[in-house]
Structure 1
Amino acid sequence: MDLARKNACMACHGLVHKQVGPGFVQIAERYRNDATAPARLADKIRNGSVGTWGRVIMPRQSLVSEADAQVLARWVLAQQPPAR
């Protein structure tokens, strides 16, 4: 969470629900059974993407190190929906 705040991820992403981009729980749910997801998400963090979640652009975060991108990707994928 600290790394996500430090890198301003929370400016566009909510923990659960979409803000500008999808919520982290939404991302985790989409990729839950995808073994390639951590590497692909780390790449999207560093290099950006468009079209994965509609027309929303994920700007590249080139100042995020490869190691931090890997940590962030694994953290995002570990998010669980809130208990009901």
Structure 2
Amino acid sequence: MARRNACMACHGLVHKQVGPGFAQIAQRYRNDAEAPVRLAAKIRNGSVGTWGRVIMPRQTQVSEADAQALARWVLSQPDPPS
């Protein structure tokens, strides 16, 4: 789903490309119970300023259900190597 929705164009699995790596996102939000809902909203609505001045553009082509599934998948990634 991440490839199909072009998430991999800006995000790496582990390390930052344009935006943070999925493992970095998971590490930051690991203990945040509200993270799945918030990340799903960021996927669909976009955001700016969370990871510096990088803009996360809106992904309105991603359904709400798919955004929630993507958010859960991102949050399931293991911590990046030290």
Distance 1:31 1:11 in 2: 22
CA distance in 1, matches of 2:49, 2:42: 12
Q: Tell me what 1:28 maps to.
A: 26
Number of corresponding residues: 82
User: Mean Cα displacement is larger for which, 74-83 or 35-44?
Assistant: 74-83
5+ residue gaps, structure 2, are none
Superposed, which structure 2 residues align to 1:54-69 within 5 Å?
A: 54-69=52-67
CA RMSD across the alignment: 1.3
Q: Deviations over 1:10-41 (max 9, x none)?
A: 00000000000000000000000000000000
**Deviation (angstroms), 1:81:** 3.2
Shift of 1:83: 6.9
Deviation of 1:82 (Å): 5.9
User: Could you state the TM-score of these two structures normalised by the residue count of structure 1?
Assistant: 0.94
* Percentage of identical aligned residues: 82
Any gaps of 5 or more consecutive residues in structure 1?
A: none
Cross-structure match for 1:49? 47
